[in-house]
């Protein structure tokens, strides 16, 4: 998943929350990560004189999730190094007489800022982000977050930030500062993090939904139509990877609902692609 959004919309906080939520996750930043830091490196032990292979962030996040913040700040050479990991779920290395293939079966969630700092809706997605088509095609979902003026949401956000600071500095130990809209918030009580962590772990390890023939036909027809539309509009090229992306998103939606078969999840995946 690639999250492209204007500054100040808590993209980094979202990644850090996911990092705490998942049982196995690795958080890194594009500016502070190199190609070998993301994939693997070969180091020489000066005591024994032997070479050792050390895995990077993608290898350490095997069977988990790798979170990359400031993805647009990486240089092209370092960003190209993760192509194999995102496509083949493995990292091949051949250095200092060591030839090996390391497993990197992890999900990648990256956050980036638009070109110029603000997302321009009059331009295409590819024009708004300084990333190449090969790396964009490897993401299943491209999410855009815009900083739009909304009086109701702005008031809620300001109220939440002020109350958070007041809770950290209460006048009396017994003070319990609640937002002014606590009656509304009571209808949307957050799920306990431990319960959510167990739910996600169970869904990932115990639920394996199947796709029926009807779902396969719907996916094939949609791919044919959207590929033709993308060619006419000269937008982001549609490849076979997008079929695989829709299948993964449909299966993920069914897993989230703990279903044995993919049903309306195909429609959810198609809506996400649109």
Report d(CA 153, CA 159) in Å as an integer. Answer: 10
Are the CB atoms for 130 and 72 separated by under 8 Å?
yes
The verdict on domain 2-145 having CATH code 1.50.10.10 is no
Among candidate residues 119, 145, 143, the one with its CA nearest the CA of residue 249: 143
Q: What percent of the chain is modeled with pLDDT above 70? A: 90
**Residue 183 confidence (pLDDT) above 60:** no
Rounded distance between C-alpha atoms, residue 180 and residue 159, angstroms:
7
pTM (2 decimals)? 0.82
Q: What is the pLDDT of residues 23-46, one digit of tens each?
A: 889 999 988 888 888 888 888 888
Which residue spans of the chain are classified as CATH 3.40.50.300? 2-145
* Structure token pair of residue 253: 């939606």
Q: Is the CB of residue 269 less than 8 Å from the CB of residue 242? A: no
Contact present, 90 and 102 (Cβ < 8 Å): yes
Give me the mean pLDDT over the 101-130 stretch: 89
pLDDT of residue 232: 67
Q: Average pLDDT of the chain?
A: 84
* pLDDT tens digit sequence for 131-173: 888 888 889 888 999 888 888 888 888 888 888 777 777 666 5
pLDDT at 179: 53
Give one word for 33, left, alpha or beta, with left for phi > 0 and alpha for psi -120 to 50: beta
């Amino acid at each position: 998943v690639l999250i492209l959004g204007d500054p100040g919309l808590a993209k980094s906080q979202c990644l850090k929350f996911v990092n705490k939520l998942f049982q196995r996750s690795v958080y890194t930043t594009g500016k502070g990560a190199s190609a070998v830091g993301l994939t693997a490196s070969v180091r020489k032990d000066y005591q024994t004189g032997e070479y050792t292979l050390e895995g990077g962030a993608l290898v350490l996040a095997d069977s988990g999730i790798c979170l990359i913040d400031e993805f647009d700040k990486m240089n092209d050479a370092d960003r190209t190094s993760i192509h194999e990991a995102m496509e083949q779920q493995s990292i091949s290395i051949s250095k200092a007489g060591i030839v090996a293939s390391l497993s990197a079966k992890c999900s990648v969630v990256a956050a980036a800022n638009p070109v110029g700092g603000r997302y321009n809706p009059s331009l295409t997605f590819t024009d708004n982000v300084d990333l190449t088509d090969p790396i964009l095609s490897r993401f299943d979902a491209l999410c855009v977050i815009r900083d739009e003026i909304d009086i109701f949401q702005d008031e809620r956000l300001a109220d939440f930030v002020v109350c958070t600071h007041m809770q950290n500095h209460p006048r009396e130990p017994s003070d319990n500062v609640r937002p002014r809209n606590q009656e509304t918030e009571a209808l949307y009580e957050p799920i306990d993090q431990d319960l959510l962590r167990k739910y996600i772990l169970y869904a990932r390890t115990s639920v394996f939904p199947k796709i029926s023939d009807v779902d396969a036909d719907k996916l094939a027809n949609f791919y044919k139509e959207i590929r033709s539309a993308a060619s006419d509009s000269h937008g982001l090229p549609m490849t076979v990877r997008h079929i695989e992306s829709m299948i993964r998103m449909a299966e993920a939606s069914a897993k989230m609902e703990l279903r044995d078969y993919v049903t309306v999840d195909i429609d959810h995946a198609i809506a996400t692609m649109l």
